[in-house]
Amino acid sequence: MEKFEKLTGIAAPMPLVNIDTDMIIPKQFLKTIKRSGLGVHAFAEMRYDQEGNENPDFVLNKPAYRESKIIVAGDNFGCGSSREHAPWALADFGIKCVISTSFADIFFNNCFKNGILPIVLPQEDIDKLMDDAERGANAVVTVDLENQVITGPDGGEVKFEVDAFKKHCLLNGLDDIGLTMEKAPAIEAFEATASQARPWV
Amino acid sequence: MSPKTLYDKIWDAHLVDEQADGTCLLYIDRHLVHEVTSPQAFEGLRLTHRKVHAPDKTIAVPDHNVPTTQGRENPEQMTEDSRIQVQALDTNAKEFGIHYYPVSDVRQGIVHIVGPEQGWTLPGMTVVCGDSHTATHGAFGALAHGIGTSEVEHVLATQTLIQKKSKNMKVEITGKLKPGVTAKDITLAVIGKTGTAGGTGYVIEYCGEAIRDLSMEGRMTVCNMAIEGGARAGLIAPDETTFEYVKGRPHAPKGAQWETALEWWKTLYSDDDAQWDKVVTLKGEEIEPVVTWGTSPEDVLPIGATVPAPEDFEGGKVEAARRSLDYMGLKPGTPLSEIKIDAVFIGSCTNGRIEDLREVAKVVKGKKVAEGVRAMIVPGSGLVRAQAEEEGLADIFAEAGFEWRLAGCSMCLAMNPDQLAPGERCASTSNRNFEGRQGYKGRTHLMSPAMAAAAAVTGHLTDVRELS
């Protein structure tokens, strides 16, 4: 997995609450057996009309936001389906960080597996960052994971919290299957005990 | 010993490792797999030369893409991309030696209906699947939740998940339900009260007299939509209803093992003085038959209400409601019961079980689907379909003018050919009313099977209690 250390890029405002994973990547694009190439379909039904033409009002179609790396979003971003195609599509588009007041649980976990940092902040910080993001091409924000700080276009700083283990994995680009496999003896010991206690499982 | 919740007990029984920061390794008893969220995980195993750690605990079934029309064993019935995905599951199941129910098997169906039906899902287990509606299995007093594809690969390779413990939330439904009110109304009413983010960070335990009174089918409906309330999982303590349902199923324990299992299962309840981080209580007798009006499952109102206005809400919800009303083509102040429909979908992992079909049959027996309404019933599994035919339900549906389909996820998420056309409005027993969920620009109203059946015969959203 690609490392996430420090990210500087344009932040796109998406203030709508409850942006679900069906919006992020509609079902017709789940019929793939690959992880790559989904960026062009990210937010497809908001981004294009039925003929495939771009909707000029959609934020990521506006000239200032086409190269966005960050989304500042309304509450409960990523709710609904567990599809990991959602973070795959965001990452492939170039979005490496999403900032909101809350995220749906499965989407939140899926982000970390794909080098995307989801940041939870209080409403007043989101309001400030949403204002920053509204500034178009000037909405350049820096996210420093090591120091857990977001720097806005005016140099204002916002601290954020992140789970220590997830931070470690993102900073180092670690594959957690490899980490777990190092614990094979503990898994085998558990299985030996469990097969005695609950042999029907 | 300090008092524990049911969630605490199941968690503790599956803990392989715990780090100082609370990061845990949790053992997974059952891993359910379908064709949409697994191909990249199996490919990951191949690339890293890893095997499936516990193929005996891994069960696969294709459900999302499969057509629900006759003759579907012929792969030509599927679009090329769907066919590739289903064939990939066929190949992966064989190559990695996991349990598999192909499309041609009468036991095939929606993964969350097949698991309980075959006795794979049992009390006290940890159950995961690359599908958010894995919460369904919580009805058995199992800790069950959806995971992403990277986690599917992690479970395939190690039979464990890296997790941090969620908080405990109690949702109590006291008293009795009124006639015409069902499990679906309970679960929608809870989401209407807590919102779609109200359960974020929690595992919900549903309890109270109205929950105890539910059948296993009803309990599965309630737990199924725990995810729509934002919770990681929803569960219900097992009791005699649970044990009765499980006993004799193909993969349930038998003989002496049954007795040992039963002894443990009977300890799976929340202790009286267990600590809850959040408690929500609803009075069963106050729950009405409900429908959704918007594009979030929290947009719930009793059928007797009118379409709300954006100004009725606060904060970010004002703009969301405006967008929803525009998408749904609804005007504030319209009585919900005057909203005309074009289609009815009865099925899904929320409401595709035999009891759901019986409810529908009760409402539509001797009646006809309203003119101009396309109504479809998609049983949750081949066995549900067979049982409905044996009980004569399929004849009632056919006489009323419903299409009687083969098992699959179908129009719940419209990955197969069962889709709404742009602008079409559907009374649906599924779980999500998101924009485009049932087809591009399709409009979904969520409700119970009885309410969807009532809408089918009148052609508009209808209070099932007013239908003679």
Give residue-wise pLDDT tens across range B96-146. 999 999 999 999 999 999 999 999 999 999 999 999 999 999 999 999 999
The answer to whether residue A12 sits within a structural domain is yes
The pLDDT-based confidence of B354 (bands split at 50, 70, 90) is very high
Angle between helices B149-158 and A105-112 (to 10 degrees): 70
Tell me phi and psi for residue A177, to 5 degrees.
-65, -45
Residue B341 has pLDDT above 90, yes or no: yes
**For position B73, what pLDDT does the model report?**
83
- CB nearest to A84's CB, from B148, B164, B228: B148
B357 with B377: CB under 8 angstroms? yes
CB contact under 8 A, A190 and B261: no
pLDDT tens-digit map of A28-46: 999 999 999 999 999 999 9
Identify all chain A residues contacting B17, using CB atoms and an 8 Å cutoff.
Answer: 183, 186
Q: Do B151 and A109 touch (CB under 8 A)?
A: yes
Residues 72-101 of A with CB under 8 A from B: 74-76, 79-84, 87
Give the model confidence (pLDDT) of B435-454 as tens digits. Answer: 999 999 999 999 999 999 99
Contact (CB<8Å) A180/B158: yes
Q: What are phi and psi of B59, to 5 degrees?
A: -125, 125
Q: Which residues of B touch A31 (CB under 8 A)?
A: 36, 65, 79, 81-82, 84-85, 415
Give tens-digit pLDDT for B295-340: 999 999 999 999 999 999 999 999 999 999 999 999 999 999 999 9
Calpha distance B453→B370 (Å, rounded): 11
**Mean pLDDT value across chain B:** 97
- A178: in domain: no
In this complex, the residue of A23, A80, A176 whose CB is nearest that of residue B132 is: A80
- In the annotated binding site of B for [4Fe-4S] cluster, the residues are 349, 409, 412
Percentage of residues of chain A with pLDDT beyond 90: 96
Q: How far apart are CA B344 and CA B369, in angstroms?
A: 10
**What pLDDT is stored for residue B129 in this prediction?**
98
Interface contact flag, A22 B432, Cβ < 8 Å: yes
Chain B residue numbers touching A15 (CB-CB < 8 A): 316, 319
Q: Span A115-133, mean pLDDT? A: 97
Does A179 map to a domain?
Answer: no
| pLDDT interval class at A138 (50, 70, 90) | confident
Strands B15-18 and B24-27: antiparallel
Q: Measured between beta carbons, which residues in chain B are less than 8 angstroms from residue A81? A: 131-132, 413, 432
Closest Cβ opposite residue B320 in set A16, A83, A183: A16
The whole-angstrom separation of Cα B301 and Cα B303 is 6
Which chain B residues touch A82 with a CB distance below 8 Å?
Answer: 37, 130-132, 146-148
A103/B contact by beta carbon, under 8 A? yes
Annotated binding residues of B, written as ranges, equal 349, 409, 412
End-to-end CA distance of chain B: give it in Å, rounded. 56
**Residue A199 counted as domain residue:** no
Of the pLDDT bands very low, low, confident and very high (cuts 50, 70, 90), residue B148 is: very high
Give the contacts of A147 (CB within 8 A, at least 6 positions apart).
none
Identify which of B23, B50, B432 has the shortest CB distance to residue A165: B23
B176, B262 in Cβ contact below 8 A?
A: no
pLDDT of residue B46: 96
Shortest Cα–Cα distance, A156 to chain B (Å): 25
Find chain B residues with C-beta within 8 A of A74's C-beta.
Answer: 316, 320
Closest CA to B136 of B445, B409, B410: B409
Backbone angles phi, psi at A102, to 5 degrees: -160, 160
Helices (H), B16-168: 39-47, 80-96, 111-117, 149-158
8 Å CB contact of B436 and A32: no
Q: Is the pLDDT of residue B468 over 80?
A: no
What does the pLDDT read at residue B422? 97
Q: How confident is the model at residue A170 (pLDDT cuts 50, 70, 90)?
A: very high
* B252-278 residue pLDDT tens: 999 999 999 999 999 999 999 999 999
Q: How many CB atoms are located within 10 Å of the residue B327 CB?
A: 17
Please give the residue of chain A at the shortest CA–CA distance from B19: A165
- Write down all domains in chain B, each with its CATH number in brackets: 6-164 (3.30.499.10), 167-239+269-286 (3.40.1060.10), 290-466 (3.30.499.10)
Cβ atoms of residues B311 and B445 within 8 Å:
no
Instruction: Write the CB contacts of B239 (distance below 8 Å, at least 6 apart in sequence).
Output: B212
What does the DSSP assignment read for A57-106?
A: TSGGGSGGGTT--EEEE-SSBTBS---THHHHHHHHHT--EEEES-B-HH
Q: Which of A31, A104, A181 sits opposite B81 (nearest CB)?
A: A31
CA distance B450 to B365: 12
Give the model's pLDDT for residue A175. 85
Contact residues on chain B for A165, CB-CB shorter than 8 A: 19, 21, 23, 162
Average pLDDT over residues B7-16: 98
- Mean pLDDT on B67-95: 93
Give A199's pLDDT tier (boundaries 50, 70, 90). Answer: very high
* pLDDT, chain A, mean: 96
A152 within some domain: yes
Alpha-carbon span B197 to B278, nearest angstrom: 13
A115 has a chain B CB within 8 A of its CB:
no
Cβ count within 10 A of residue A195:
11
CATH number at residue A89: 3.20.19.10
Task: Indicate the residue of A79, A87, A199 with minimum beta-carbon distance to B230.
Answer: A79
- The pLDDT of residue A1: 83
Q: Nearest-CA residue of chain A relative to B153?
A: A177
The per-residue pLDDT for B75 is: 82
Å between B288 CA and nearest CA of chain A: 25
Total structural domains within chain A = 1
State the amino acid at position B122 in one-letter form. L
Q: What's at A73, amino acid-wise?
A: A
pLDDT band at B82 (very low <50, low <70, confident <90, very high): very high
Taking an 8 Å cut-off on Cβ atoms, the answer to whether A45 and B436 are in contact is: yes
Mean pLDDT of B385-397: 98
Give the domain range for residue A56.
6-173
User: What residues in B contact A34, CB-CB < 8 Å?
Assistant: 40
Residue A53 located in a structural domain: yes
Helix, strand, coil percentages (3-state) for chain B, rounded to 5, are 40, 20, 45
First to last CA, chain A: 34
Residue A156 maps to a domain: yes
- Classify B209 as helix, strand or coil: helix
Chain segment B152-205, per-residue pLDDT in tens: 999 999 999 999 999 999 999 999 999 999 999 999 999 999 999 999 999 999
- As given in the structure block, the two tokens for residue B295 are 């594009």
**Mean pLDDT on B338-366:** 98
Q: What is the mean pLDDT of residues A65-80?
A: 98
- From A145's Cα to the closest Cα of chain B, the distance in A is 18
**Which of B48, B136, B151 to mutate to probe the A interface, most A CBs <10 Å?**
B151
Neighbouring-strand partners of residue B162: B25
Cα separation, B355 vs B361, whole angstroms = 10
Q: How far is A67 from chain B (nearest CA, A)?
A: 26
